[in-house]
Amino acid sequence: MMRLIVLLAMLCFPAAAGAVLEREIAVEAERLGDDVVAWRRDIHRNPELSNREFRTSEKVAEHLRSLGLEVQTGVAHTGVVGLLRGGKPGPVVALRADMDALPVVEQTGLPYASTVIGEYEGQQVGVMHACGHDTHVAILMATASVLSELKDNLRGSVKFIFQPAEEGPPKGEDGGARMMISEGVLENPDVDAIFGLHIGQQGLAGSASFRSRGFMASAQRFDITVRGRQTHGARPWSGVDPVVVGSQIVNALQTIVSRQIDITQAPAVVSVGSFHAGVRNNIIPEEAHLSGTIRTFDPEIKRQIHEKIRRIATLIGRAQGAEVEVEIDPGVPVTYNHPALTADMAATLRKVYGKDSVYISGRVTGAEDFSFFQEQIPGFFFYIGARPIEILPDDAIPNHSPLFYIDEAALVPGVKAMSQLAVDYLELHAPD
C-alpha cells in the first residue's frame, strides 16, 4: 500500500518527488530498526581482523544478493561490492563501509561482547570491533535495503563498497581502499562521488559532524629496529643494551612535536605504540623493536617529522654503539572533504538530523583510508554521534578502547543519512 501511495504521489506531483522519497526513506529505515541492530550485534560478536573478514563478507554478499543487486566478491582479498541500478538514467554514487576489527581484548561486559582470539603479526590476540566498523557494515546493509525499495525512482546508480583492512593490512600484505581502487572498484560503471561515515562517542546519538577540506589526519606507521650486542644481565658492560637505547629513542621522539615543530601551523602527533625486546629477565637481548604512528595535516610538517625520526633514532643508536634501522610506510593521506560536495551534502545531514544536531568539527587526528577514494573522486566523510546520554562529554570513551561501546539509537539515523545522501546526490546531478 505504501509503495502504491508513493508512486501515485510522484506521478501526480512531480515537484514533490524529493519530499516523497525522503518520507519513504524514513519509513523504510525505521522498519529495519530491529534488523540493523541484530546485524550489528552478530558482527560485533564475530569480529575479524584486517584481510581476514571472511564471515563478514559472506554475510554481506548474501544480503546484497537477496536484494537482487549485482554482487562482486573477493575484491582486495575480502571486499564486497554491490551495484544497484536505478530505474532512471543518472550518475553513479558510491557508499562505503569498512569491515575489519582490531587486536583488542573486549572489556565492555556486553551480552554480545566478543570472545574471539585471532593472530596478529605472529601474536595471539583478542579481537574486538573497538572502532565501530560493525555498525558501519550494519548501517550500509540496511541502506542497501532502503534504496532497493526505491530502485524504480532512483535517478542513477548506487555502488555499495564493503571494504576490508581499513585499519591497515598486516605488515607485508596489501589491502584496504588503495587495493580496492587498483582492482577497479571505482570503475564499471565509473563512480562520480563517494560518501562514508564513522561512528564515535564524540557526539550524542542522533547528532552528526563534518568539516570541509582537511578533516582527518594523514597517518604513517613507523618501525624502528635497534640492534645491540647480547650479553648476561649481570655484565651489561660486555654488550650493547638495545632496551636502554630504545628507551632513549622513545623519550627523544616526544620532543619532535613539543620542541622541534611549529605547531601553530597545524597539529601533529608522534606516538610509540609498541616496544618489544628480550625473553628472559637476566639476558640483555640482541634486538629491540619499536612501532608507532605519525599524524599530520601539512605535507611539509610530515616531511620534517619523518626526517627527524630517522635522524634522532639513528644518532642515538650510534652514540650508544648500536645499529638502528628506521622504516616509515607511505601511510594514508589527509581525509579531504571536497568543498562543493560538502556544501551540498551538509544540507542533507541537517535535513536528517535537524540543524541543531549537526556540527562543524575541528580537525581529527584519527586517520581514514577513505582518503584514497577522495584522491580519485569527490568525497564526503562525516561522523555520527553514538554517545549514550548518561556519559558526559569529558568521559566519552574513545575508539580503539577495550571499553568502547555505542548507543544503538544512532543506527537508524545513520541509515537515513546514507540513504538520503545517495538520493539527494543523484537528484542534484541527474540529467535534465
Q: Which residues are catalytic?
A: 100, 166
DSSP state of 256: I
Q: Give 340's contacts (C-beta < 8 A, 6+ positions apart).
A: 378
* Three cell numbers written together for 130: 573497538
> Helices 33-45 and 411-429, interaxial angle, to 10°?
110
Neighbours of 234 (CB within 10 A): 9
**Alpha carbon distance 71, 80 (integer Å):** 7
* Residues ≥6 apart with Cβ < 8 Å to 390: none
CA 327 to CA 358: how far, in whole Å? Answer: 40
Count Cβ neighbours within 10 Å for each residue of 16-45 and write b for 16 or more, e otherwise: ebbebbbebbbebbeebeebbbebbbebbb
Distance CA 368, CA 363 (A): 13
State CA 190 to chain mean position distance: 23
Question: What sections of 325-410 are H helices per DSSP?
Answer: 339-353, 370-376
Cross-strand partners of 317: none
Q: What are the helix (H) ranges across 151-284? A: 176-182, 242-255
What is 265-301 written as a DSSP string? TS-EEEEEEEEEE-SSTTEE-SEEEEEEEEEESSHHH
Compute the distance between CA of residue 376 and CA of residue 339 in angstroms, rounded to an integer.
15
In angstroms, the Cα distances linking 380 to 75, 268, 335, 347, 418 are 22, 23, 9, 13, 11
